[in-house]
Structure 1
Amino acid sequence: MPIKDLVQKGVVIGDGAFGTMLYQKGVFINACFEELNLTKPDLIKAIHSEYAAAGCDFLETNTYAANSIKLAGFGLADKVEEINMRGAELARECAGESLVAGSVGSASTASDAAESDNYLDDVRRAYAEQIAALDKAGVDLLVFETFADVNAMLAALDAASDNTDRKIIATLRPALNWRERGAERIKSALARVAERENVFACGFNCGMGPSDMLELLDETRDLTDKPFCIQPNAGLPQNVDGRSIYMCTPEYMAEYSKRMYEKGADIIGGCCGTTPAHISEIAKAVKGVSKADQQARVYSVKASGQDEEQEKPVVPLKERSLVGRKLANGEFLTTVEITPPRSISLETTAEKAEKCRDAGVDAINIPDGPRASFRQSALATAVRIKQAGISPILHVCSRDKNIISLQSDMLAAASMGINDMLFVTGDPPKVGDYPDATGVFDVDAIGMARMARMLNSSRDIAGSEVPDATKMTIGVGVNPGANDFEREIERYKMKVEAGAEYCVTQPVFDLDTFFRFTDAIKGFEIPVIAGIWPFTSKRNAEFMANEVPGIVVPKELIERMGKADNKEDAIKTGIEIARESIDAIRDKIAGLAVSAPFGKVDLAISVIQ
C-alpha cells in the first residue's frame, strides 16, 4: 500500500535506529556503517528483519551517510551507487508487506557554511547522486532525516526534484534548546520545508527524547496540513562505563507515542537509542488509536489556542513551603543532611532533627539510597522529621523506580505536606551493596524536574490532567568539580529549562572550582545551595579527594588536616576549614547544605553557628 494510503488509513510506524543496532551487535562506532551493505549483508538483513517483525510500515535503507561527501572520508566516494542500490536491495529482501524508504542524511556539517561559499552546490551534487541511485534501486519513498541545517535540506529537495518523483518525508533535527534560541526560528525552518511541492510529509527527528519532542510537536503541528512525522531519540544519552546509553524504556516511549499521535503526528518512528523493542511497543500503543480520535484532539487544541502548561496556575514559590519562601525572598537557607538509618526505628533520626531545629537550622536534607545503599525509606524518614517540627527536603533518586512509581511518590509526599524536593539521577547499583540489582532509570534528574513541574501545573508526565496541583519546590543536584565540566554545565542548564528552581552542589573544598561553576552558569542562575562537608581527620580528607568522584580537595587542606595533634583538634580544624569556605563563597550562594559526617549532627550545627 502506498505511503499516502497508509497515512489516510491511520498511524504509520517507521523503524528505529540503525546505528544503535549495529553498535549493539559489535560494530565499532568509527566504522563506515553504509559499507556493511557490501561487506556484511547478513548483519544488515538481520536488523531489517527485526524491525519488520516489530510491526513497522516501512524499513529505511542503511544508506543514511551514503553520499560522496561522507563516503570520501572512508575512501569510498566511488561506490555511492553500489552502496545505495545494495542497501535498497537488502531492505527489500526483508520488508515483506512493509515499504522500503531510502534514507538520505545530511551531507553537510555545522561548519561547512563558514568554510566554503559553495558548500550548498557541493552537497546538492552529492544528494543528486545518492537520490538517483536510490530511485534507480526502486525504493517506495525517500526519507530525508536529521537535517540541522534547513538550507542543506532545501538543497536536498532541489536535488530530488530533478532526480525522482518518489514521495519524500523530510525531517529536521531540532536543537534541544529550541525555545531558548527562539521558537520562531524552528517554526520558520519547518514552514520553508513544508511549502516545497515535493515534500509529502515533514516534521522532526533526533535531537531530543519523547517528552521534549511532544512539546515541539504541540508548538508546530498547526504550521502545515501535510502529514507530520515524529522520530524522537530514546531520551538523552547517559555515560555508563564509558558507553553512551539511552535510558528511555520501550513502554515509556510507547506512552509518549500515543500522545504524539493524538496531538497530530501521522508517522511515528524512533531515532538514536531506539530498537525493535521500542518500535514494537510503539506499534502496539498507537495502532489502537483511531484516526477520528486523532483529528478530534488536534482540532480541539487548535481551536482553544491554549498551551497545556497554562491550564492551571502554579502556586508561587514563596507560598509552597518555608524553603520556597526563603528562596523566593532571598533569605539565607540553612540545611543539614541526615541519612536515613538501616533500621526500622526512626526515633534517633527524629532526635537529631530536633537538635537541628533547636539550633535554628531551617530544614533537613534526606538522601534517597545514597551510594546505592539499602536504607529506610527516604519518604518515611521525611514524614517522621516533619513530625519533629522541622522542614524535610526529600531527595528523590530515579535509580530504583519507574515513572509510574516516581509520580505516585510525588503525590504521596504532597498528601503528607512534604513539598520540598531534590531530584538526583543516583549512583548505579554496581557501586553499592547489591551490584546485581536492576537500575531502572526511566528518567534522570532532568526528567524528574520536568515531571515535578508538570505535576505542579496539574498534569502527569503524559500530559493528562491531575485533579490537584502539587506544590513542590524543585531542586536538583550539581557537581562543580565534575570531570566532564562542559557536560555538567550543559546538564545543569537542561535542568533549569526543565523546571529546576534551586540547586545543591557537591561539597565545596576548592574555591577556584566553585567560582568556575558560578561563572559558567551566568544567564541560567537559580539559587545555589552550597554543599559543605566538615572534615573529621586527614584520612577523611584523603578519602574525599581520592575516592569520591568529582570532588576536588586542595592538597594544602589535606596537609592542614594532617597537622592536627589529636582527634578533637582534627574535628576543630575541619570545622574551621568549612567556615572559611562558607565565608569565601557567601555572596555567591543562597544557602548551605551541611553534611553530618558519620551522623554527627553536632559537627554540622557547629559549622552553621
Structure 2
Amino acid sequence: MSKKPLKEYLAESLIVGDGAMATYLFQQGVSIGHCNEELVLTSPSLIAEVHRAYYEAGARLIETNTYGANRERLARYGLESKVIRINREAVKVARESVGEDAYVAGSIGSICAGRVAAFDEEEYRDMYEEQATALLHAGVDAIILETFLDVKELLIAVKAIRPLTRVPLIAQLSTIEVGRTRDAYSLTEAFRLLAEHGADGVGINCRLGPVEILRSLEKTVVPENLILSAFPNAGRLGMSDGELKYKSIPGYFEETADLLVEQGVRLLGGCCGTTPEHIRRVAAALSGKKPVKRVNPELCRIEAVTTEPVEIVRTRPTVVEKVKNERTIICEFDTPKDLEISGFLTGAQRLQEAGVDTITMADNSLATARMSNLALGAILKSQFGIDPLVHVACRDRNLLGQQSHLMGLHALGIDQILVITGDPTRMGDLPGASSIYDVTSFELIRMVKQLNDGISFSGKRLKQKARFVVGTAFNPHVRQLEAAVRRLEKKVAAGADFVMTQPVYDEQGILNVYEATKHVGIPVFIGIMPLTGYRNALFLHNEVPGIKIPEHVLKRMEAVQEDREAGRREGVEIAKELLDVAMEKFRGIYLITPFSFWKMTEELALYIRQKDRRRVAVEA
C-alpha cells in the first residue's frame, strides 16, 4: 500500500524529521572544509549510513545531503559543473537508505549562508531553480528551504521554485534574535509573506535551541493551514574541555518536544549538533500523539510590545546640510603615529579658526598604525566644539567590531563618517596584520543606514535610531572614468549621503570630475592636497594608489626641489590655482593636510574664505 502524499499525511499526523548532517559527519571524522555534498558521489555509503541511522532512530522525513549543492557553493570546490549530478544522486542515496514509509525532502540551503545579503536577485533565482529542478526530477516528496537569515533571499527561492512543482514547499528561517530575522522582519510578517507567495509550510531551524524556538513561536502569528516545522540546534555552540561543542543532551529534546507540538508544530527534527540519539528521543516523545491545532497569540498584544525606535534630533547642521546653502570645507588632518597629541590638537584648533567646518580623520591611512580617530574625535568634540568626521575602514574590524565601533561613535555624538575599503595591511607598517574585509564599502554603507532605521546588523530592533551621515570616496584617477562613476552610483544607491574625492592636481581634472558627478544627486567635495616638494610629488604620482599628478605640475615642483620652503610655497600656490577652478564648480571643498603640515591647509582655508568674502562684497 503506497503512503499518502506528505501534505495529506501532515494534515492529520505528526512526523519526525532527521537531525544534523554536517556536524554529525564531523563527529564521524569528516574534516571541516571538505565539500560534504560531494560525498554522495565519492562516499555514498557514508551518507547512506547517516540517513539509515536517523531512520532507525524514528525519523520519517529524511533530508537529502544537498544543503549547499548549488552552483555558487559548489564552485568553491571546482564542482559547479556537477550541480545536477550531485542533487540527483543525493535523492537516490536517501531513497535507497530508508524504508518505504519514509518521505524524502530535497534540502536547499541559503546561498548567502550568513554573509551580508548583497546579491544579484536574478542570479540567485537561476541557481535556486537549477537545484530545485534537479531534486524534483529525481523524485523528492517535498522541498525544504532551510537556514535563511533574510526574508528577502528566502522569498527569491520560494518564487523561483513554486511554479515548478505541487509538492510541499517548506520555508524555514534561521533567526539570530528571538522572533526577528536579520533583515528586521518579525516572524509574523515573514510567515505572512511566505504564505502569500506559495509556501505550504513555514518554520524555524538552526542557530536557536528548542526553548528559544518555543519563545519565538509563542509571539508569532502563523497563517492558517500552513505546515509548521521546527528543527532546533542542540543548544548554543560553546567551548568545553578545549573543544567546541553543543550543550544540549538528547534527553532535553525529549522534554521540549511536547511544548513545540503544543505550539502547532507538525514536523519536528534537529539541526546543528543533533545526532540520531536526539531524534530517537523526539520520536519517543511524539509516539502515539496527534497534531495540536495552532492557537495564535493576540495580535494586539504583540503590537503593544513592538515600539518604534526613538529618533534623536541633531542640534547642529551636518556638512551635507551646510553645503546645500554655503561653501563648506572639510579638512583631513591625520591623527598622530605617536602617543603625543598636543600638536594635533593645536593644528585642529587653528584649522577651525581658519574657517574649516569639520576635521576629518583617516582610519589608519595607508595601513599605517595611528591613534584612534574615535578617541581624538571625541576630544575635538567635547573639548573644542569641533564636529569630527571620522573614516571607517572595512579592513580592520569584523562585523562584530564594526557594529560595536559605530555604536560607540553614536554614543559619543559623532555621526559624520566616511566609509572606505581601506588599504591592505601588507602595504603598511605592520604587514603581518590581517586584513579582514568582512564586507565591502557598499555593504557597510547599507548596514550603517540600517542602524539609522533602528535595526542592528543582526536584525535586532534598537531602542534608538542612529543618525549617521555617510560619505563615500571617489577616485577619478582611473583609465575609464565612466566605470568609476558607475561604481559611485552604486554607492549612492546603497545610501551614501555625500562624496569626497581623491586629490586632483590639474584644472581639467576638476572640470572632468564635475561633469562626471553632477548628476549623482548628493554633494561632492572635491579633494585638494598641497604638494610639499618634488619628492612628495614623485611619490604620490608613482607610489600611492589613486593619485596622478600632471607633467606640468611635476615640472613646477622640480624647479624648486633644492629649497624645501620654496617647495611648500609652490605646492600651496598650485593648490590655490586649483581652488580658483574648483570653487566655480563645487560648494564642497575637501582639503587634505600632507604630513601633518596643518599650516599649509590653514592657508588654503583662509584663502577660500577670503575669496568668498570678496565675491560677496562685489555682488553686493
| TM > 0.5 fold call | yes
- Counterpart CA distance in 2 for 1:294 and 1:214 is 25
Pick closer, same or farther for the CA change 1:526–1:515 going to 2, 3 Å. Answer: same
| Residue matched to 1:595 | 592
Residue 538 (structure 1) aligned with residue 534 (structure 2)? yes
Task: Establish whether residue 382 from structure 1 lines up as the match of residue 374 from structure 2.
Answer: no
What do the CA deviations read for 1:421-477 (whole angstroms, capped 9, x no partner)? 223332333322222234454445445434433433444322334434433322233
C-alpha distance in 2 between matches for 1:607 and 1:361: 10
**Is 1:194 equivalent to 2:154 in the alignment?**
no
Where in structure 2 are the equivalents of 1:97-136 lying within 5 Å?
Answer: 97=53, 101=64, 103=66, 134-136=90-92
Select which of 198, 202, 223 maps to 2:193: 223
Residue of structure 2 equivalent to 1:429: 425
Tell me how far 1:489 sits from its aligned partner. 5.6
Percent of aligned positions that are identical: 22
Q: Which SS does the other structure have where 1:224 is aligned? A: helix
Change (3 A) 1:538 1:216: farther
**Closer, same or farther: CA 487–300 of 1 in aligned 2, 3 Å:** farther
- After TM superposition, list the pairs within 5 Å mapping 1:446-485 onto structure 2: 446-481=442-477
- Conserved 8 A contact 1:596-1:603: yes
- Which residue is 1:274 aligned to? none
Is the Cα contact below 8 Å between 1:52 and 1:94 reproduced in 2? Answer: no
**CA displacement, residues 140-181 of structure 1 (integer Å, 9 cap, x when unaligned):** 44346767375886687677656514433469999x9x99xx
Q: Which residue identity lines up with residue 31 of structure 2 in the other structure?
A: E
TM-score (norm 2): 0.60
Cα distance between partner residues in 2 of 1:221 and 1:520: 45
1:283-322 counterparts in 2 under 5 A?
A: 311-312=308-309, 314=311, 319=315, 321-322=317-318
| Residues 49 and 94, structure 1, Cα contact 8 Å, conserved in 2 | no
Higher mean displacement: 146-155 or 494-503 = 146-155
Contact 1:191 1:224 in 2 (8 A): no
Provide the residue aligned with 2:31 in structure 1.
50
Q: Which moved more, 1:524-533 or 1:137-146?
A: 137-146
Given candidates 340, 355, 359, the residue that maps to 1:360 is 355
Aligned pair partner of 1:351 in 346, 358, 372: 346
Q: What amino acid is the match of 1:477?
A: A
SS of alignment partner, residue 50 of structure 1: coil
Q: SS state of the match for residue 456, structure 2?
A: coil
Indicate conservation of the 8 Å contact 1:320/1:419, yes or no.
no
State how far apart, in whole Å, the 2-side matches of 1:212 and 1:416 are.
29
Secondary structure of 1:573's counterpart equals helix
Tell me the SS of whatever aligns to 2:31.
helix
Q: 1: CA distance between counterparts of 2:363 and 2:130?
A: 52
**2:568 pairs with one of 571, 589, 592:** 571
Query: Secondary structure at the residue paired with 2:143?
Result: strand
Using structure 1 for the length normalisation, give the TM-score: 0.61
Deviation string, structure 1 residues 223-249 (Cα, Å, up to 9, x no partner): 3343469999xxxxxxxxxxxxxxxxx
Structure 1 residues 251-290: aligned runs within 5 Å: none
Distance 2:524 2:156 in 1: 37
After superposition, the C-alpha distances for 1:6-51 in whole angstroms (9 at most, x for unaligned) are: x9779976769xxxxxxxxxxxxxxxxxxxxxxxxxxx99999236
TM superposition shift of 1:602 = 1.9
What amino acid maps onto 1:383 in structure 2?
A: A
- Distance change (3 Å), C-alpha of 1:159 and 1:315: same
Find the aligned partners of 1:148 and 1:204 in 2 and give their Cα distance.
Answer: 21
Cα RMSD, aligned residues only: 5.6
Alpha carbons 1:85, 1:137 under 8 Å: kept:
no
Which SS does the other structure have where 1:223 is aligned? helix
Q: Give secondary structure in 2 for the equivalent of 1:62.
A: helix
Note closer, same or farther for the CA distance 1:149–1:594 as it changes in structure 2 (3 Å cut): closer
Structure 2 unaligned segments of length 5 or more: list them.
Answer: 1-5, 55-61, 73-81, 96-103, 112-121, 175-179, 221-227, 233-238, 266-293, 608-620
Q: Which amino acid letter does the alignment assign opposite residue 101 of structure 1?
A: T
Instruction: Report the residue type matching 2:38 in the other structure.
Output: N
Mapped partners of 2:147, 2:507: distance in 1? 43
2:524 paired residue number: 528
Q: Which whole-Å CA distance do the structure 2 matches of 1:254 and 1:428 have between them?
A: 36
Residue 165 to residue 374, structure 1, CA distance change in 2 (3 Å): closer
Whole-angstrom CA distance in 1 between matches of 2:298 and 2:427? 49
Structure 1 gaps, min length 5: 17-43, 54-58, 64-83, 109-125, 206-210, 233-252, 270-276
Summarize the Cα distance change of 1:153–1:325 in structure 2 as closer, same or farther, 3 Å threshold: closer
> What is the aligned residue count?
489
Please tell me whether the aligned partners of residues 69 and 86 of structure 2 are also in contact (alpha carbons under 8 angstroms). Answer: no
Residue number in structure 2 paired with 1:117: none
Q: What is the aligned partner in structure 2 of residue 335 from structure 1?
A: 330
**Would you say the 8 A contact 2:310–2:464 is kept in 1?**
no
Contact 1:481 1:550 in 2 (8 A): yes
Rounded Cα–Cα distance in structure 2 between residues aligned with 1:331 and 1:555: 34
Please report how far the alpha carbon of residue 194 of structure 1 lies from its aligned counterpart in structure 2 after TM superposition: 3.1
| Contact 1:52/1:95, CA 8 A, preserved across alignment | no
Match of 1:326 in 2: 322
CA–CA distance in 2 between the matches of 1:460 and 1:524? 28
1:544 offset after TM fit, Å? 0.6
Aligned partner of 1:509 in structure 2 is: 505
The answer (yes or no) to whether the contact 1:398–1:445 under 8 Å persists in 2 is: yes
